[in-house]
Chain A
């Protein structure tokens, strides 16, 4: 650390860091990243708490593969089915992108449910994380709607008839139901307008909502912190008997550490 750098090295370093400094001077990104990356989380977090990141990954897979699929997909009843065949059979690695989008959707839904189950098990929806939970439920609902709108796009038998039933379920709502059904169909019957509508919803409107909500969700997670497993003997925020003084073994285990370097024994 104390080794002195040659003027040459210093020059190179300054040149390399210049863009970073330039960016940081204008955005303050360095401090933001430092806060995000080096903030402390409870030391006893476990594998179940990676489900949120896993869900986010599945969403990112959907976003990336979806954008690529949109380059080849044609949202028109006369060519949608053929364009799916074309993607699967002719386009280089088209089967992979379509397969990832198709199976990624199932993974996304499963992971959302698992993540939700974890939060429920940990009681992590309680004060002060109620809003995080509510936004999570909205994400689940939007994710399910995303699945429903995407289901029509291949324009095969299952797609068509599942959509008929799905729209009729919406139309079953009292008073405004029939109109919701008509708006979804874009007319009295399922036709070209319906497919274009579902495509637009699936491609733009709902993903936009999902991204905005995911952003708020993550902001709240970072701001409020993640919970310790409630059964952990060293859970952050645990109740102590009487006035708290760290016990000897805990003092030995964890020292107050500067950010970026962790004491030994944190990771078991």
Chain B
């Protein structure tokens, strides 16, 4: 808090240095940790506020002097008093700054943990987890083009809340490995549950239990998929054919362990070229429905929260 002296009309002040340091810490925090970002951001705001208040005070002394400093007789008298060396701050000015400062500290102490508590989950990765949906035979021993409507638990520890449905199609073998197409049933428009456009053979429904909990498999012969909300339609590769969806249906990675199919991470796709085992797919980080991944509008969603 340096008020004394002016050169070229600019008051000497330590505020810019503090502000620059805090801003630097903020930028470093972007690389290192979110906590540093939060703290440095808070300090930045505090110093910025102090700086602004200080410069207003030094440029328009009458604004505050008249109302606050009752003991100082004339507004003009304030400047010489404060310019003097030694204890430059009057009692009321100290209390004023102190009250503001304490208020800011209390507000910060209350807000930062609370907001962090609320916001943090959005920045935490959910970790990797595979879901075992049972023996390969259930998926391979069906007529060509059949999609198994596969319902399973995405997170066994969360139970029914994480129940998901995917459409699994066996594509034959690719380089002597079984190839599958696993399509999510969440519409790429706004996340409604898409339905297979074709007969579903409920009579052939199979229920089984794996180490990942209950799994149900129902064969269907869809020509594509349709959304019950806003009229989106997809072909059998999950590419949009009509309606508002901004990209193809999301897909899941998979692995085969001990003859059982494991469903892995979900990813987003723009448009799939080719079909079945020959499909060429460009993977994108999983984006929420309605967000473009390969159009010009992708720049509206440059950063995705972790999944």
Q: Do chains A and B touch in the complex (CB under 8 A)?
A: yes
Interface string of A166-198 (1 = CB under 8 A from B): 011101101101110111011111111100000
With an 8 A cutoff between CB atoms, is A232 at the interface? no
Query: Does A183 lie within 8 Å of B161, measured CB to CB?
Result: no
**Any chain A CB within 8 A of the CB of B190?**
yes
Q: Is the CB of A187 within 8 A of B122?
A: yes
**Which residues of chain B in 188-236 are interfacial with respect to chain A, using CB atoms and an 8 Å cutoff?**
190-193, 229
**What are the 5 A-B residue pairs with the smallest beta carbon separation, nearest first?**
A182-B122, A174-B300, A171-B288, A182-B305, A172-B290
> Which chain B residues lie closer than 8 Å to A168 at the CB level?
190-191, 288-290
Q: Given contacts A165-B229, A192-B158, are A175 and B121 in contact (CB under 8 A)?
A: no
Which residues from A are CB-within-8-Å of B160? 77-78
Interface 1/0 per residue, B273-288 and A, CB below 8 Å: 0000000000000011
Annotate B91-132 by CB proximity to A: 1 below 8 A, 0 otherwise. 000000000000000000000000000110111101000000
Q: B159 touching A165 by the CB < 8 A rule?
A: no
Contacts of B307 in A (CB 8 A): 188
- Does A120 touch B at the CB level, under 8 Å? no
Partner-A contacts on B (CB < 8 A): 118-119, 121-124, 126, 154-155, 158-162, 186, 190-193, 229, 287-291, 300-307
- Provided the pairs A181-B288, A188-B126 are in contact, do residues A161 and B193 lie with their beta carbons within 8 angstroms? yes
Cα A66 to Cα B290 in complex, Å, equals: 34
**In the bound complex, how far is the Cα of B160 from the Cα of A172, in angstroms?**
27
A167 contacts across to B, CB distance below 8 A? 191
Q: Within 8 Å of chain B (Cβ to Cβ): is A135?
A: no
B100 vs chain A, min Cβ distance (A)? 24
Residues of B with C-beta under 8 A to A171: 288-291
> How many residues from A make CB contacts under 8 Å with B?
27
A203 interface residue (CB < 8 Å to B):
no
0 or 1 for each of A146-173: is its CB under 8 Å from B? (1 = yes) = 0000000000000001001101110110
Looking at the assembled complex, report how far the CB atom of A198 sits from the nearest CB atom of chain B, in whole angstroms: 13
A179 to B287, CA, bound (A): 11
CB distance from A191 to the nearest CB of B (A): 5
| Chain A residues within 8 Å of B290, by CB | 168-169, 171-172
Cross-chain contact A178 with B291 (CB below 8 angstroms): yes
Chain B residues whose CB sits within 8 angstroms of the CB of A78 once the complex forms: 159-160
Flag if A179 contacts B301 (CB, 8 Å): no
A164: B residues at CB distance < 8 A? 186, 190-192
Inter-chain CA distance A168–B307, complex, in Å, is: 15
- CB closest chain-B residue, reference A190: B161
Chain B residue contacts of A187, Cβ below 8 A:
121-122, 124, 126
* Interface positions of A from 54 to 101, Cβ below 8 Å from B: 77-78
When distances are taken between beta carbons in the complex, the residues of chain B under 8 Å from A77 are 159-161
Whether A165 pairs with B191 at a CB distance below 8 angstroms is yes
What are the residues of chain B within 8 A of A186 when measuring CB–CB?
121-122
**B191 & A178 in contact (Cβ 8 Å cutoff):** no
